[in-house]
Chains A and B, each alone.
Chain A
Amino acid sequence: MATVAAGALHLGGCYEGLPAEGGLATATTTAPDGDPSTADGSDGADEGPQGEAECEQRTPDPLRRLTHTQYLRSVERLTAVPIPERMRNLLAPAPAVAGAFDNAAEDLVLRQSDADAYQRIAEYVARFVFEAEDGPALVTCDETTDACLDEFVASFGALAYRRPLDAAERDRIVAVARGTENAAALGVWGPFATAVELMLQSPNFLLVPEIGEATDVEAVVQLQPHELATRLALVLWDEVPDRALLDRAAAGELDDAEGRRRVVQEMLADPRARAGSMRFAGAWFELDALAKAPFATAPSDAAAAVLRSDARAELAALLEHHVVDGDLRDLYLSSETWVTPALASLYGIDVPAEGNAPGSAGLLHVELDPDARRGGLLGTAAFLATYASGEHPSLVRRGAYVRRVALCTEPPPPPPDVEMGETQEDDHGAQPECWACHQLLDPIGWGLDRYAADASLRDALPSGDPVREEGYLVEVEGSEFTDAPSLGAVLVDTEAFMHCSAEKTAQWVLAKPIHMVEACFVDELTAQLERDGFHIPALVARVVASETFTLRVVPEEGDE
């Protein structure tokens, strides 16, 4: 199939209207202002011994805090206390930023509203640990001795702060713990609980300081071993490093490429890596947003809520099988899925009488027939029903999602003073200034028009008109498709798909918005994708084991 090279769409230009000739303006993949990549000399950058991505990153790494999920997971890991939903809800999500995942460092600033939550959670957790009936599992020394508190602060602190505390730090914490009273019910454990409250609110725990050591290059520092261990754990496990990893780092196992590769492979084999990968997959494919489908045509609010929950579970199962494991392309091509009876009914498919998919309680594994017109992410209720209003699916927003997550070619929003037309949204073709951008979106929605607002199959629109039967990607010749599976087949065959997959991976692992990721870096990763069999964790491993990942570019004042 003839394809157009990735990056051939200069999307900022779609505001400028249709070009004089047919086809679209072309440009190389660039930063949003349209300048060519400034990666001079890094085209064909040297690859490391095993094809590591070695293009230099020159954009700064701002000081960040832990994301909310990293914070919660880390607190639970450090204290073995499960944090209840009502306390987790005290942490408000930060507003979404276009072009960035929610782990982008520059947006991870501590907010006043978070500080109240950290305080309450720390106090709750400390209380829970030290009111435990059998005594706190965290303390292994004899609590009646003076030295025990010091010992506990040193060992808990070393894990929470990811480095040994110096004497002054430790003494300060001990002085506060001894100098104030905690709840009477805690008795002798009071000072221990206070110490935990303090350490779990410490900037050394909540933030990720990367002080590093100077290198020959100005403003670039080499991360210290514990700082690199922290970066690895946050990306691969979505939590702070454990004792074993910190010890390995201190022993020098992360000091060379071979050592890093070995440690990373072992980290990926650890069960915690599933959580880390699922976090990435959820952010990339917007799992939380796709759990909010209105299902306005469901018979009741309760039925809609059930469908939402089931739809999310199906999508999570697909992500787990094809992004956390397996081959990313199967996310679009696979003929199997995992459904509940309610979803099966919605999809109009039969499910086998028994059988749970492994690890997906309540979901039934199904092999789909081609004429079911399901299969893959794009046939799911989670995707199709989320972008709908009332009884109308939204062609434009379905198209926007596909462009955003699969091709990384979503056009910018409409200009500010454009008033929406009198006509329904599928008449953008009548207005040339709208069509310049809408030609990227609407035709995708047309090809999915046979899926109603609730994702069920239909032959006609609510108005009685027939559904549109065919869609296409405007920049790709021969890309006509008629349903979700055929759209999936078209997508995975494009270079844009490959490039986008690498882009998303780089964005996540480097914790940067896309315009801060060097283009050459993404190009190198794209080249590796096929070699890695589109296995995303392998691609992640390449990035985190690379030399790039051991360095920090220190921002200049005013960068922020």
Chain B
Amino acid sequence: MPRLRLPAVRRVGRRTFLRGASTGLCLALPALELLRGAEASAAGLLDKLVIFHWPNGAHPEDWAHLPAGPIAAAALPPMLQPLAPHWPDIAMLSGLSNVAAGADYECSSGTPHALPTLTCLTGAGLACTTTNTTVNRSVDHAAAELLPPAQIDSLYLRPYGDSFNLSYPTAGSGSVSQSPIRQPHVLFSQLFGDAGLAPEDLERLYARRLSVLDALNEELTDLRAKVGAADRQRLEHHFDAVRELEQRAELGVTACAPPKVGPAEEPADPPDAELPARTDLLMDLGVMALRCGISNVLLFSVGMSQGTPIYSFLDAGTPPHDAHQTSHMQAGVTVEEKRFWWMETNRYHIAKLARLLDLLSGSDGGEAIIDRAAVVALSEMGYGANHVPYNLPCFVTGAGLQGGRHVHHPCSVVDPSYSSWAYDSSSLFCRDGGGQTALASLWLTVLQALGGEVDLFGEATTTLPDLW
């Protein structure tokens, strides 16, 4: 799999746009400095959000059991060693719990993996009937609304899988998730599909698109007038989709020169052995999109929590089971083997996080954007073997955050019957007796750091201190 060569991207600036709905025109303007971005940098403000996700939790002895307070990089356990170069800028947070997921297990849409996934970025419990689930809007989309307009609100990438989606663009009943992009050539088309055209052709293209979209809005309005209330609710999704396309056409093409050659076509899901290469390629393109301002929010997930491949590419060899079963302590014969393979699985996930941090720091010669980005890395479960959404592994960095430390937040696993045969139960589940700290509080903190004047996200009204 040839690695896409990243060009040395210089921020030329972005076109300002005219809300051309009445004129249907998108005028070609000379490239301007991105004042807002320059101001933002100068003021030390954040204008990017990066969320990195891995599924099925993490081996607690390799992170949560570290002492609270400063930790030297040399003292990091094997699972976290890939983070050593960035460790001084990383704060590890323990004790955060997705309390919303714990509320109602009946509302699980079929499997115990669904509830932690659906609520991870949305911060609110679900209300559901047998036909329909109500979710909150997820933090990536909430953040996009606060940040400067971009062609793509939230760039959600994952190298395989079509279920267990984290991102919800709109709140409400019957809300649909956003599907991640998994094929590099599809991503390239969405980011740079128009970019091969000459400027006058582009201008014509966007003018035509805006005119077409205008007519589509009118057709939708006519249709809305003819149908009943329930159908009108569903038409709202269509109106939203048209609005998003209008936004893209109004903002014009990316100011970046795209790579000359796009990635080769690949099938929807890669063979297991090619998973790392595809992950890397998607990551490269995702960071490029951030640098180019095509999106200000990157949601990068390394995998689904079920239907996982076998990680045949691990340094330690091929595990005897797929990644999901490995998180259920099924990989191997002895307890030690089973713990080992789960730790190795997560060491791979953490290594991908480290690679992302490298790119954000400009290790490839491209622009370093980590100083303008709030970065959160987490999993939707704590102890994945019993799907518990408490005490989630969580790392935060970016924008000059002071790191090299472990911050423990009050955490109490509510069900005293939680136990494990694979680990010492008393040390596995946090039992401070000091109440819960909602994951949603972290998301509220993120939104405020991005400049949002918000005091509520999901069910959280409090924030976490001493981060960005």
Q: Which A residues have a C-beta under 8 Å from some C-beta of B?
A: 31-33, 60, 62-63, 85-86, 89-90, 92-99, 106, 109-116, 119-120, 169, 172-173, 176, 179-184, 194, 197-198, 201-204, 206-207, 209, 211, 292, 294, 296, 301, 304-305, 389-390, 412-422, 425, 513, 515-516, 554-560
Tell me the smallest distance from the CB of A485 to a CB of chain B, in Å: 30
Q: Which residues of A contact B422 (CB under 8 A)?
A: 419, 422
Q: Which residue of chain A has the shortest Cβ distance to B229 in the bound complex?
A: A557
The listed residue (B163, B174, B230, B318) touching A95 by CB distance below 8 A is: B163
Is B226 within 8 A of A209, CB to CB? yes
Contact present for A207 and B24 (CB under 8 Å): no
CB atoms of A422 and B238 under 8 A apart: no
Contact of B330 with A by CB under 8 A: yes
Determine if A194 and B208 form an interchain contact, defined as CB atoms under 8 angstroms apart: yes
Number of residue pairs across A and B with beta carbons under 8 Å? Answer: 221
Residue B363 interfacial (CB < 8 Å): no
Q: A residues within 8 A CB of B420?
A: 419
Judging by beta carbons under 8 Å apart, are A415 and B105 in contact?
yes
* Inter-subunit contact B109/A557 (CB<8 Å): no
**Chain B positions within 8 Å of A422 at CB level:** 329, 335, 421-422
In contact, A183 and B204 (Cβ under 8 angstroms)? yes
Q: Please tell me which one of the listed residues A31, A33, A120, A181 contacts residue B204 in the complex, with CB atoms under 8 A apart.
A: A181
User: Which residues of B pack against A, CB within 8 Å?
Assistant: 24, 105, 108-112, 115, 130-132, 162-165, 169, 173-174, 176-183, 185-186, 189-190, 193, 201, 204, 207-209, 211-212, 214-216, 218-220, 222-223, 226-231, 233-235, 237-238, 240-242, 244-245, 248, 265, 268-269, 271-273, 310, 318, 320-322, 325, 328-330, 335, 385-388, 415, 418-422
If A95-B179, A112-B169, A557-B230 are given as contacts, then 15 extra A-B residue pairs at C-beta distance below 8 Å, sorted by A number, are A89-B265, A93-B179, A173-B215, A176-B212, A181-B207, A296-B310, A412-B110, A416-B105, A416-B386, A417-B105, A419-B421, A420-B330, A554-B228, A555-B230, A560-B234
* From B109, B212, B271, residue with most partner A Cβ within 10 Å: B212
**B132 contact from A95, A98, A207, A560, Cβ within 8 A:** A560
Given A95-B165, A417-B388, verify A558-B173 contact (CB < 8 Å).
yes
Q: Say yes or no: A89-B105 contact (C-beta < 8 A), given A110-B241, A301-B273.
A: no
CB–CB A92/B310 < 8 A? no
A60–B132 Cα gap in the complex (Å)? 13
Whether B230 lies near A207 (C-beta < 8 A) is: no
Partner of B208, one of A93, A113, A181, A292: A181
Q: Is there contact, CB below 8 Å, between B385 and A96?
A: no
Cα–Cα, bound, A530→B20 (Å): 63
Interchain CB contact under 8 A, B238 and A207: yes
Q: A95-B164, A390-B321 are in contact. Are A112 and B240 (CB under 8 A)?
A: yes
Chain A residues contacting B110 (CB-CB under 8 Å) are 97-99, 412-413
How many Å lie between the Cα of A292 and that of B161 in the bound state?
Answer: 12
A179 touches B211 (CB 8 A): yes
Residue of B181, B193, B214, B269 touching A292 (CB-CB under 8 A) = B269
Are B112 and A116 in contact (CB-based, < 8 A)?
A: no
Contacts of B329 in A (CB 8 A): 419-420, 422
Q: Smallest Cβ distance from B242 to chain A, in angstroms?
A: 7
Bound state CA distance, A196 and B211, in angstroms? 14
Bound Cα distance A194, B174 (Å): 34
Given A89-B265, A417-B387, A419-B328, check contact A111 B230 (CB 8 Å).
Answer: no
B432 to chain A, nearest CB (A): 20
In whole angstroms, what is the CA distance A204 to B387 when docked?
44
Bound Cα distance A33, B218 (Å)? 43
14 contacts between A and B (CB under 8 A): A169-B219, A180-B208, A183-B204, A211-B226, A292-B269, A296-B310, A389-B321, A390-B318, A413-B111, A416-B108, A417-B112, A419-B329, A555-B230, A555-B231
Residues of B within 8 A of A112 (CB): 169, 178, 240-241, 244
Q: Are A120 and B189 in contact (CB under 8 A)?
A: yes
Least distance between B146 CB and chain A CB atoms (Å): 19
Tell me, in angstroms, the Cα distance from A62 to B232 when the chains sit together. 11
Q: What chain B residues lie within 8 Å of A181 (beta carbons)?
A: 204, 207-208
Indicate which residue in B204, B219, B234, B248 contacts A62 across the interface (CB closer than 8 Å): B234
Q: With both chains docked as a complex, state the minimum distance between the C-beta of B63 and any C-beta of chain A, in angstroms.
A: 19
Residues of A within 8 A of B268 (CB): 89, 93
Supposing A89-B183, A95-B164, A98-B109 touch, asked if A420 and B223 sit within 8 A by C-beta, the answer is: no
Return chain A residues, CB-CB under 8 Å to B193: 120
- Smallest Cβ distance from B4 to chain A, in angstroms? 16
Q: A62 and B271: CB pair below 8 A?
A: no
Contact B235 A557 (CB under 8 A): no
Given contacts A98-B110, A204-B219, A301-B271, contact A33 B231 (CB under 8 A): no
Shortest beta-carbon distance from B54 to chain A in Å: 19
Q: How far is the CA of A90 from the CA of B186 in the complex (A)?
A: 6
In the complex, which residues of chain A have a beta carbon less than 8 angstroms from the beta carbon of B320? Answer: 390
Shortest beta-carbon distance from A55 to chain B in Å? 20
Q: How far is the CB of A427 from chain B (nearest CB, A)?
A: 12
A389 and B322 contacting across the interface, CB-CB below 8 Å:
yes
Task: Pick the contact of B185: A33, A86, A94 (CB < 8 A).
Answer: A86
**Closest chain B CB from A97 CB (angstroms):** 8
Given A96, A111, A211, A418, which contacts B241 in the complex, CB threshold below 8 Å?
A111
